[in-house]
Amino acid sequence: MTDIFEKFNSLNIMIIGDVMMDSYIWGKVERVSPEAPVPVVKVSNKENRLGGAANVALNVQSLGGKPFICAIIGDDKDGEEFLSLLRNQNLSEQGILKIKNRPTTVKTRIIAHNQQIVRVDVETDENISEAETEVMIGMIKKILAEQKIDAIIFEDYDKGLITEKLISETAELAEHRGIITVVDPKKRNFHSYKGVHLFKPNLKELEDGLKMVIDSSKPNQVENAISKLKSQLGARAVMLTLSEKGVFINSDLGQRHVAAHKRDIADVSGAGDTVIATAALCLAAGLDEFKASEIANLAGGLVCEHVGVVPIDKARLLEESRKL
């Protein structure tokens, strides 16, 4: 396992997806507002972090890989703060496209006594224009021409960057170059990811995508739904994440349920980002879908022990992976 984790250090991963800034306001609640029946949070600290597809990049970086983010931000103050956070993490700005009159996505979480009180979102989910899509595809092509990319992650939050044209053209480029493609999907483009290597929905996304109710306690229902999706997409593997029930993987090698490890769960925010980043690196390093899903499942559980969105600790993941 040590050899695999060392191999991560030589891998370049492209992340195409919706980036955002996670803003945290920490404080204490000592009274209720006289203006309305809501808690008054006395602020003790504020912090901005990279979120969404940028958090996937942080997880790739934490595991030793080199991430290349292809994403959009607004030409605004929050966009500048986002770029500042990128620079502080030594992440490339090469694939970041600024768009005028479009807000940078910011999710502000107000936390008191280690509990999230409320979240405030500033965003738009309007698709980017055809012209902007062409610019982004050009940026993707440039990076592919200049760098050895080992895997491409589509990190789709339905915020408007990822369109059918962007998916089809990028997937074709990846297929031509023999690059692994992995997908963390959302509802809008759910059926557009044809022929990808690994497709990773959660249960709600699977139900929405197939327009059916699935009882996760009934293995036959889960197996049938995933088989149907795998066939529709022509994907090599589908990995369904089931929160505390672990993951279910259906690949050309067969199918398997991977149980979750018992954890003291503090916050599930960002766990999906960790899972997809870990799975992509494992596949690019040469592991099969089963082993990759085992390690990715483990990684997702580990980050849930922390409050807020945090990237995976490589040393701890390696230590726990040796026990699998």
Residues that are catalytic: 273
Instruction: For residue 42, give the amino acid letter.
Output: K
Backbone angles phi, psi at 268, to 5 degrees: -90, 0
Instruction: Count CB atoms within 10 A of the CB of residue 1.
Output: 15
Q: Which of 161, 257, 156 is nearest to 216 (CA)?
A: 257
Task: Answer whether 62's CB lies under 8 Å from 33's CB.
Answer: no
Tokens of 83: 């770029």
Tokens of 309: 């969105």
Q: CA-to-CA distance for 36 and 214, rounded, in angstroms?
A: 40
Quick one: which H or E segment has residue 272?
helix 271-284
Helix, strand and coil percent figures for the chain, each rounded to 5? 40, 30, 35
User: Which positions ≥6 away from 245 have C-beta within 8 Å?
Assistant: 216, 259, 260
Q: CA-to-CA distance for 79 and 93, rounded, in angstroms?
A: 12
- Tokens 């980050």 belong to 303
Q: CA-to-CA distance for 247 and 177, rounded, in angstroms?
A: 29
Instruction: Count CB atoms within 10 A of the CB of residue 10.
Output: 13
Quick one: which H or E segment has residue 30?
strand 19-32
- Bridge partner residues of 31 (DSSP): 40
